[in-house]
Amino acid sequence: MDTQLLEAFIAVAETGSFSIAADRIHVTQPAVSKRIALLEEQLNCRLFDRIARTVTLTEAGDALLPRANQILREIADTTQAINDLSGDISGRLRLAISHHIGLHRLPPILKRFTQEHPDVTIDVDFMDSEKAYEGILQGRFEVAAITLAPEPHPKIEAKTIWPDPLVFMISDDHPLLKEVNPTLGNLRNYPAILPGLGTYTGRMTRALFEQQSVPLPPTMTTNYLETIKMMVSIGLGWSLLPESMLEPGIRAVPIAGVHIQRELGYIHHREKSLSNAAKAFINLLQKESQ
């Protein structure tokens, strides 16, 4: 079976659009349509229902999707394993990176990696840390640089590279500045702007308030820390953010007895053999923690 047909099928299945799929795999929309038609002809079944402008998987398409992903992963892994036998650092390195780490921690590391290993093509997906864990478990990525989960996973190797202290932040004209010794109880009297409570950082915040039996206040949520910082700076609410994000116009609010820190680092699957490129990337990350 032609891998290009499977790539087109996966692109349409994941985007729900022939035109977006065409952009994603860098071909024309008619080419995508032709590949899907050829695949349906080979399998003698319809893979998509096309109703109005909506594209959805049929039962057969739904059954094919995980198998198509597995076939392409195995082909890529086999090719990489053969290339690695030479000892060369080359091929494709599939990375998952959280938005915050991608903005604030990784640029110099990625620059150095590409300079030292020009034969490696880096394929980066930016995503929430929680989704990166799923991607590592499914074999979609070799390495993820993310916020580490508070609880270990038996199939995932995790290593802290950057301890990341968190502090409560407000704008420099926020009413909380009038409090001499602010508490979590004071914070609950004002709106909060936090990462989604399903994220690791959001869960840490919720756990902190629950431990002290203080209800969280009305909360706006977004998983983009840069957006939260902007909203805090204009006085829309307080937040719990990395200390490294403090800047003019934003102040830290010390809460007596409260010290909270998340761990930033990398993960990979314990049972998956890493490519030479992945090992080289991890080596650069580890030098950051030395």
The full set of domain ranges for the chain reads: 1-80, 164-261
Which position has the token pair 């190797």? Answer: 157
Q: Is 94 exposed, middle or buried (0-12, 13-18, 19+ CB in 10 A)?
A: buried
Q: How confident is the model at residue 249 (pLDDT cuts 50, 70, 90)?
A: very high
CB count within 10 Å of CB 27 equals: 17
Give which of 275, 288, 287 is closest to 73, Cα–Cα.
275
Across 65-89, average pLDDT? 80
Q: What is the pLDDT of residue 219?
A: 87
Q: What is the pLDDT of residue 173?
A: 92
| Model pTM above 0.85 | no
pLDDT digits (tens, 9 = 90+) for 160-212: 999 999 999 999 999 998 888 899 999 999 999 999 888 888 888 888 999 88
Q: Is 26 exposed, middle or buried (0-12, 13-18, 19+ CB in 10 A)?
A: exposed
* Mean of the per-residue pLDDT values of the chain: 90
Overall CATH class of domain 1-80: mainly alpha
Helix (H, G, I), strand (E, B) or coil at 286: helix
Q: CATH code for 164-261?
A: 3.40.190.10
- Residue 85 gets the label, from left (phi > 0), alpha (psi -120 to 50) or beta, of alpha
Buried b (16+ CB within 10 A) or exposed e, 62-81: eebbeebbeeeeeebeeebe
Q: Beta 156-171 vs 192-194: how paired, if at all? A: unpaired
Structure tokens belonging to residue 35:
């590949």
